[in-house]
Amino acid sequence: MCKTHENETLSDDCIFCKIIKGDIPSDKVYEDRYCIAFRDINPQMPVHIVVTPKIHIESVLGFKEDQAEILGRLQLAIAEIARRLGLDGSGFRVVNNCGKDAKQSVPHIHYHILAGGEMGERIV
Ligand code: DGP
């Protein structure tokens, strides 16, 4: 069983940890034991959701073997959010920015769900 939401797994100076703890408000669209999803404060598509685990891990590079379940749970959450928001028919894009070149700005791993309009054929 992997670790989930325990206070010692959250960071005091991380914006997403503060959202997880409820210290900063967010427009939440989904929550379960492992992850939370909310509308991006700076949307780049009509639908722009941030999905993030309830544990402070900087990026995909930080996952340990015994945390593998969280990665699967994030994927399941993404699919559930897509269904709930009615994106499963039209489609959506899932993006993870990892590190400097990808311009990751919040060092707490998260996936962007982008939808609500046709996107370009190129990812970047
Ligand atoms: P990235 O650049 O991949 O690290 O994406 C971070 C995203 O997080 C960016 O699109 C803006 C969003 N974001 C940052 N701070 C907040 C916040 O306080 N609330 C919400 N809802 N989104 C935030």
Which ligand 1 atom lies nearest to the CA of residue 104?
Answer: 4
pLDDT at 5: 45
The boundaries of the domain holding residue 102 are 2-115
Taking CA atoms, 96 is separated from 1, 21, 28, 83, in Å, by 25, 22, 19, 20
Distance 87 CA to ligand 1 centre (A): 21
% of the chain beyond a pLDDT of 90? 93
Residue 124 belongs to some domain of the structure: no
Number of domains comprising the chain:
1
Residue 103 belongs to some domain of the structure: yes
Q: Which residues touch 93 (CB under 8 Å, ≥6 apart)?
A: 112, 113, 114, 115, 119, 123
The CATH number of residue 93's host domain is 3.30.428.10
Residue 122 belongs to some domain of the structure: no
Q: Which residues pair with 27 in a beta bridge?
A: none
| 30, 38, 41, 103: residue to mutate for ligand 1 pocket, most atoms within 8 A of CB | 41
pTM over 0.85: yes
Residue 123 belongs to some domain of the structure: no
The per-residue pLDDT for range 57-96, each reduced to its tens digit, is 999 999 999 999 999 999 999 999 999 999 999 999 999 9
Ligand 1 atom 20 nearest Cα: 41
Residue 70 belongs to some domain of the structure: yes
Residue 87 belongs to some domain of the structure: yes
Pocket around ligand 1: residues whose beta carbon is below 6 Å from it? Answer: 15, 24, 26, 38-42, 50, 97, 103-106
Q: What is the mean pLDDT of residues 103-123?
A: 97
